[in-house]
Structure 1
Amino acid sequence: MVRRLSIISLAMIFAVSLFAFGGSASAAAFKPKAEPDVSILASGGTVGIYGANMRSCSKVSCSTITTFSSGKKITGSWVTGEYVQGHYTNSNKWLKVTYAGATGYVSVTTLSYYYGL
């Protein structure tokens, strides 16, 4: 009797968790979250643990202008470029950034958090 009760309890917990996550069993999938202190009109992100290269165009084959270290917050405007398989996501979105008088592109795949996309 106790065993049946625990199986029924587990089934109920599973059913309730499906409703709590919008009916999706994959609710635990990783999705970078927007940083809460940023204006809704802004676009940008935080460089992930591996750093990020600012390139002369929105392709990985383009020359590196500068490298941002982990934790650096960068802003700019989103553009579409070469599709990249990265550390945090796979995407063709690049952040067009102006830094130290130079304009370049940073792949969203190198950002641990991003917003405005």
Structure 2
Amino acid sequence: ATSTVATTTAGTDSIVTTTTMDAISTVATTTTSIGSTATTTTTTDAVSTIATTTASIDSTVITTIAGASSTIVTITAGATSTVATTTAGTDSIVTTTTMDAISTVATTTTSIGSTAT
């Protein structure tokens, strides 16, 4: 669609991943917040831009890689084995969040586009 929004929230350490994909102008905006502090935002023109951002938050490393016609954004967070991965393409947004935080496990898979899961 013209404006597709996928939001996944996993509790405890509060990992919030929001990805907005404008399928027409191919612009992906990803905002990630871990805990009550720090936010990493990457805006990518998927046709011509490759961006790499690395941030350190309480011994947590966030790496964002985006580029090409298919925008891939990967956020890997340390601390209590927490991994959040977001993959956004031109017409589809796939958000997978795995949360392992001291006996609390939340797994969410969201697909917006031609194939829904």
Q: TM-score, normalised by structure 1?
A: 0.22
Higher helix share: 1
Q: Whose radius of gyration is greater, 1 or 2?
A: 1
Query: Which fold has the larger relative contact order, with Cα–Cα distance below 8 Å and residues 6 or more apart in sequence?
Result: 1
Q: TM-score, normalised by structure 2?
A: 0.22
